[in-house]
Structure 1
Amino acid sequence: MYKLGIDVGGTNTDAVLIDSDRNVVAEVKYPTSGDIYDGILGAVRACLKKSGINRAEISQAMLGTTQCTNAIVERKSLAPIGILRIGAPATLGIPPMIDWAEDIQKIAVDYAVVGGGFEYDGKELAPFDREAAARFFEGLKGKVKSVAISCVFSTVRNDHELEAAALCREVMGEEIHVSVSSEIGSMGLIERENAAILNAALYEVAERFTTGFAKTLEDEGVTGARVYLSQNDGTLMTMEYAKKYPILTIACGPTNSIRGASYLSHLKDAIVIDVGGTTTDLGVILAGFPRESGVAVTIGGVRTNFRMPDVISIGLGGGSIVRQHEDGTVTVGPDSVGYRITEKALVFGGDTLTATDVAVKLKMADIGDKSKVEQLDYETARKAMEAIRSMVEDSIDAMKVSSADIDVILVGGGSIIIPEQLAGTKSVVKPDYFGTANAIGSAISKVSGTLEQLINYDETPREAALNRARAEAVELAVEAGAVRETVEIIEVEDVPLAYYPGNTNRVKVKAAGDLV
């Protein structure tokens, strides 16, 4: 049986087929289309043709897509929603979406702040105002199909959020999409509420890319495959889970590359440099999974605090434009010819000097027609490469947590422009199949569940609390589609919170297992 992994990028859609022993059977890069399904269909067809396998032997298909990110950044396809915050009178001073741009605030048809919520220690601020919430939901009927619910300190106690969600379905119907903030974000009301709002607004996008991917496979005769979506912690989720939490697909591209790089290089701890046509993403692999960001993340101008990979992006890629200035300096990027590299770069007969041309001139790569760069001044090429080296080395330093040298893995089609001797590195590895590491990462990923809670060890002894948290994380992984027998705990973290009463700790446990 085979796994089909697909990752949709801004320039190319990559597809790979992997057999039951996790060997790569076929890999293709296909231009991403305006309608991404044309690109996906083309990539699937090319991959199947190249492999020659029987379509009936594909048992699993995985998709990594940028659709949700694009919808937020471009303000397209976001659904109208209602927003309920439980926290009056304490939070009336700051309404929902207060710092959002006007063009995206329009997704909110109406909002209400009703009585309820909790203190930081779990004590009730005020009783949940069911009557006010019910009136609000009645007013939304027929206007929206998705609602976001947030509550003060719901990461400590989510009783009021769950009660409000049940009331919403009771009033508006079981088909209503409800995003509950405690299931998405972490500490910090505004950022967690923002994440829930975005998740609620993405439900139509999620419906479209899940059903669209399934139909694409069906049209191509791949009818026996179970379908999964990549999420941004380097693991997979079922189609139903993706429809419920579409926001978790944001930034899945870099995480797929990180997972794929780790698998291909057999390195579990390293910095991964994923070079595309326009940008370079740098991330860190720890124990085989992407390192999570510890700071709030802004998406399309909206500040959120749900889990995101620790990734930095720089304007450097295979299509980056190289310029020589009057003072003799040479700069690379941040602008790029992007997907037009095969018509604009010198080695392909174009008229624009790109980073790829520099790599060919310096004999670092052998693509296109190298005779086209014979007239390129060697000193210009050398200065351009030094600029590239400096950008990458500065970024590596920014990702490190110590001054010690670290292993680096180069992946992505544009990684041919990166020198293999970099300051601050222990080794620089470019594995086989480096060009499609993102699709490979999608295909080989596991399914995970993550539990994050505040627990007072004076009330529940530490060992008992951690054991319970481990068990709940396992259940979350199984709910997401993992085989129970294969689930293992891959991360346990408990951090004392000095500003909380008693011996309160933030406990976070992550479990992952193989697909069903």
Structure 2
Amino acid sequence: MRLGIDVGRATTVAVATRADGTVAARARVDSAPAFAASVRSVLAALGPLPGPAASVAVLTDLRHRPTDTRPVAVLRIAPPSHPALAPATGPARLTGRVAGGASVTGTPLAPLDREAVLAFARRAADAGVTAFAICAAGAPARPGSEHAAAAIVAEVLPRAALSLSHEIGSTGLRERENATLANAALGAWADRLVADAGRALTAHGVTAPLYFARDDGGVVSAEYFRRHPVIATAPAACTAARGAALRTGARRALVVDAAAHAVRCVTVVDGEPERAEPGPGPFGLRMDLGGPRTTVLPYASGAFDPQEARHLVERERERLPDAEVVWTGGAAPAGPDSADDAARFAARADCGVEIEQIVVATGRAELEALLEAARGHALSRAVAAGATPGSVRVDRSTHTPVSYLPAGVHRVRIRATGLPSGRAEP
């Protein structure tokens, strides 16, 4: 049995599913102002589970809850650039640049200026900043300078929270740096959610491994979420959309999520949401983390308006005329089961990660070897994210030539997933 908990702005839903995916128990309550109170309340309404839980998946959007942020020191490892291309500030307390990094293809640009990294770390320590976002040019192809800089920072601040861009963002420098900055700033928020959820579950007698839904609808372990919270700040729309498509069996669906304060539309084809272009993420920073393309229409009247929703659907249908319209969400005109879509899908979701890299190959054989190494890395990351080792697999792998670079340079995206770890299900 697996448990999913959807902590929304207006309502909190809990669904316990059996091994075959059918619902064994469900509960729905009004959300409390505090996340922990919402979890405790819905667990009390759910009552004793029909059997032991193998895992628990929690989802909540960053904008639904007060946000704890850490002051961040942002260190860019790259050649000098125009002031307009300086690191974003946002929640950053300090920003700095040191020599080092590599080109997009991995060619070293300069040796890492270790003394400058040491001086920056000491300046951050003097300012009381212990969260760092480290971003090196070319890190998706050659991450060594980020590891070296992190080791230097750790010498000055052994308990520093370190976010490294090659573990988080896309290949674009600015988007990757922004995602790393947001990740470092959200560490306190993630710590609080993990602690609150863990205490609430323990008080209810649930000791199963804890997971959090990520923005693409999959899940990651609580510990992985604590280290990489930026990948799980807005999972509700995608999780609900994938759950609604699965519930209805629609192969190509325009999912309309009638949430508490807005209608959200997500396209799902064969179970996969349409990927969003780079755009604003947490703190308004532009980033590219593979979330779904979502069209949002806030309620002008403050409550669900069927006519407003129809207008939004009509506009979206112009772009997707062959898609089946599927409703979900608490205000949806699709029956009570639709309110459970997000929690039910999260309970059964696979655990995994997506990685993005740049590889340079002179021929087909070398490219295949590099792709195989990248797939192995993705599988290892999926296990680190909480997937059961024997269940992990690569379920999506793409590589495309980078058109503006010489032949042989490829952008690689690989998604690896597996079953969440936990005791055997009854």
Partner of 1:151: 136
Partner of 1:88: 79
Alignment of 1:95-494 (within 5 A): 95-97=86-88, 105=90, 107-141=91-125, 143-173=128-158, 175-222=159-206, 224-315=207-298, 333-337=299-303, 355=305, 385=307, 388-398=309-319, 400=320, 403=321, 405-416=322-333, 430=334, 433-458=337-362, 461-494=366-399
TM-score under structure 1 length normalisation: 0.76
Q: 1:200 corresponds to which letter in structure 2?
A: A
Alpha carbons of structure 1 residues 229 and 147: separation in structure 2 relative to 1, 3 Å: same
User: Which structure is richer in relative contact order (CA contacts within 8 A, separation 6 or more)?
Assistant: 2
Give the Å deviation of 1:123: 1.7
Q: 1:159 corresponds to which letter in structure 2?
A: G
* CA distance in structure 2 between the partners assigned to 1:209 and 1:91 by the alignment: 39
TM-score under structure 2 length normalisation: 0.92
Give the Å deviation of 1:202: 0.6
Alignment RMSD = 2.2
Unaligned residue ranges in structure 2 (runs of 5+): 422-426
Q: 2:99 corresponds to which letter in structure 1?
A: G
Query: How many residue pairs were aligned?
Result: 419
Larger radius of gyration: 1
Partner of 1:500: 405
* CA distance in structure 1 between the partners assigned to 2:336 and 2:270 by the alignment: 21
2:49 to 53, 59, 63: 53
CA contact (8 A) 2:102 2:108 kept: yes
Matched position secondary structure for 1:336: coil
* CA distance in structure 2 between the partners assigned to 1:28 and 1:93 by the alignment: 51
Give the Å deviation of 1:64: 0.2
* CA distance in structure 1 between the partners assigned to 2:342 and 2:401 by the alignment: 36
Alpha carbons of structure 1 residues 128 and 250: separation in structure 2 relative to 1, 3 Å: same
Give the Å deviation of 1:303: 1.6
Q: 1:7 corresponds to which letter in structure 2?
A: D
* CA distance in structure 2 between the partners assigned to 1:289 and 1:243 by the alignment: 26
Give the Å deviation of 1:91: 5.7
Give the Å deviation of 1:265: 2.0
CA contact (8 A) 2:105 2:359 kept: no
Q: 1:145 corresponds to which letter in structure 2?
A: T
* CA distance in structure 1 between the partners assigned to 2:182 and 2:370 by the alignment: 32
Unaligned residue ranges in structure 1 (runs of 5+): 316-332, 338-353, 356-383, 417-429
* CA distance in structure 2 between the partners assigned to 1:268 and 1:469 by the alignment: 30
CA contact (8 A) 1:149 1:179 kept: yes
* CA distance in structure 2 between the partners assigned to 1:512 and 1:267 by the alignment: 23
* CA distance in structure 2 between the partners assigned to 1:24 and 1:91 by the alignment: 56
CA contact (8 A) 1:486 1:513 kept: yes
CA contact (8 A) 2:5 2:58 kept: yes
Give the Å deviation of 1:93: 5.7
Deviations 1:49-79 (A, max 9, x none): xxx535x612311100123x457xx7x4211
Matched position secondary structure for 1:233: coil
Percent of pairs with identical residues? 27
Give the Å deviation of 1:140: 1.8
CA contact (8 A) 2:278 2:286 kept: no
CA contact (8 A) 1:7 1:64 kept: yes
Partner of 2:40: 41
Alpha carbons of structure 1 residues 255 and 13: separation in structure 2 relative to 1, 3 Å: same
Deviations 1:433-467 (A, max 9, x none): 21111111111100112221112231553333333
Give the Å deviation of 1:469: 2.4
Give the Å deviation of 1:166: 1.8
* CA distance in structure 1 between the partners assigned to 2:205 and 2:98 by the alignment: 51
CA contact (8 A) 1:453 1:507 kept: yes
Matched position secondary structure for 2:368: helix
Give the Å deviation of 1:138: 1.6
